[in-house]
Amino acid sequence: MNVSSWLESLIETYGTLAVFFGTSIEGEAVAIAGGVMAHREHLSFWPVALAAAAGGYLSDIVIYGIGRKYKEAPRLRSALGNPRVASLVARLSVNLVLFALVFRFIPGMRTAGPVALATLGMQPMQYGLLTGLSSLAWGVTGVTLGYFMGHSIEAIFGELHRIEHALIAPAIVAVLLGITVFVWQRQKRKTQILENKPTASE
């Protein structure tokens, strides 16, 4: 069972609770899988979207709290010192409000964003409000993406199901033709080798 199937099975079994805890730990993949399950009508769209948003919000708050408490810790400083992260933080720190609203949508900033905002001095109340709005938008976006991916997946596999029957006969003919050509060429090479083999009298 691949990761995607495992996530879908988990979400189908435990519903929106799995989406909530999953997005608080993993993030995008769980939100998208929740959207796919909503498309299949195993779950309702809005409860899944709100659960994804709440899980993302919990993650943001916890990481921000860790950043405030341990902002001088070498490990956090090292994470923020990554050249790519440091470059993004430098650009976004010009406007902390915008930073708090968009970091969740930037790859690689899910952890670094809250830590950076904590070390840059954004106050908890302001951070809580802004990241709450961002998490809501993120949750709805992720679940919506999964919902429409469900449409696409069904359309693709439905079309393949119709096409595969039309391709069966040509595929069998092609395989048989390939085997025939291979056997014929192999037999021809053997004949040539025997014809060129010197006799004992030579």
**Residue-range definition of the domain harbouring residue 106:** 3-149
Nearest to 39 by CA among 144, 187, 141: 144
Amino acid 50: pLDDT? 95
Residue 182 lies inside a defined structural domain of this protein: no
User: What are the CB-based long-range contacts (under 8 Å, 24+) for 41-47?
Assistant: 42/11, 42/12, 43/11, 43/12, 43/15, 43/16, 43/19, 45/143, 45/147, 47/16
Amino acid 184: pLDDT? 63
Residue 177 lies inside a defined structural domain of this protein: no
* Torsion angle of C-alpha atoms 63, 53, 128, 137, degrees rounded to 10: 120
**Count of structural domains within the chain:** 1
Residue 192 lies inside a defined structural domain of this protein: no
Residue 193 lies inside a defined structural domain of this protein: no
Residue 115 lies inside a defined structural domain of this protein: yes
| Beta-carbon contacts of residue 137 (< 8 Å; ≥ 6 apart) | none
Residues 55-81 have pLDDT tens digits of 999 999 999 999 998 877 887 777 787
Residue 21 lies inside a defined structural domain of this protein: yes
Residues in the chain predicted with pLDDT less than 50, given as ranges, are: 157, 159-173, 199-202
**Tokens encoding 106:** 């930037």
Write down the pTM of the prediction. Answer: 0.69
Residue 174 lies inside a defined structural domain of this protein: no
Mean pLDDT, the chain, integer = 78
Residues 122-148 have pLDDT tens digits of 999 999 999 999 999 999 999 999 898
**Tokens encoding 202:** 């030579």
Residue 190 lies inside a defined structural domain of this protein: no
